[in-house]
Amino acid sequence: MTADHSFLDLVLGASFIVQMVMLLLLAASVASWAIILRKRRMLHSAVDGADGFEARFWSGGDLTTIFREVIAGDAAPRDMAALFEAGFREFGRLVQQQGTAPEQVLEGCHRAMRVAQMREMDRLERNLATLATIGSTSPYVGLFGTVWGIMNSFQAIGNVQSATLAMVAPGISEALIATAMGLFAAIPAVIAYNRYADQVTRLEVRFDTFTEEFAAILLRHAHAARGAGAAGGARA
């Protein structure tokens, strides 16, 4: 028996169970890279969107003008702009109601922004758990394929009177391929999960900070609007 075996020969010559393990790990690797590339674009867009919106928001422009620019697009606002849109829309609705105290306006705006933030965080965190699962389980799946392949090799040794290294090497090699594929699927998934989870956490902190700062601005506007209404009523 020749010891010269290509990678494809080893895969095709593996037992059915080991082949299924390899196929499962290949599918996990493909799914992992699809999530990695899609999540990379999403988070890059979220960071750029937050940077751009913060620059526009803190430039001193009128809030109503910024609100009209945010809702002018065909697509729904995303990321930090979604928080602003939810808060300012609720602010406009509550201010128009007679007898609404500024603290009630603030509470309503804060609640609307929190709901919008939860939606955005759910969108940004989507599929991160899948990356974590692939990263944590793939080595063990590959190890299972390795153990199964080595077990078959030792069984084959027991069925012959004299065993040589050339006889068992192909079986052990195909078994070790399963471990290598498990690591190939797991390592990028773990690295990407840690990186993206950190980016999502940083974005969440930025969203929290913006929510509190914008809520303080809206509270001042609510007091000003109530004072203007009271002055108008006194003049009447």
pLDDT at 9: 65
pLDDT of residue 195: 96
Asked if 102 contacts 95 with a C-beta cutoff of 8 angstroms, the reply is no
**pLDDT of 202:** 95
Cα–Cα dist 153/120, whole Å = 52
Tens-level pLDDT at each residue, the chain (236 residues): 444 556 566 666 667 787 888 899 999 999 999 999 999 999 999 999 999 999 999 988 889 999 999 988 777 888 999 999 999 999 989 888 877 788 888 899 999 999 999 999 999 999 999 999 999 999 999 998 888 888 777 776 666 656 565 666 666 777 788 888 999 999 999 999 999 999 999 999 999 999 999 999 998 988 887 665 544 433 32
Here the tokens at position 90 are 């609720």
Instruction: Report pLDDT for 2.
Output: 43
Say what the pLDDT of residue 233 is. 38
CA distance 61 to 113: 20
Measured distance between the N- and C-terminal CA atoms of the chain, rounded to whole angstroms: 105
pTM for this one?
0.81
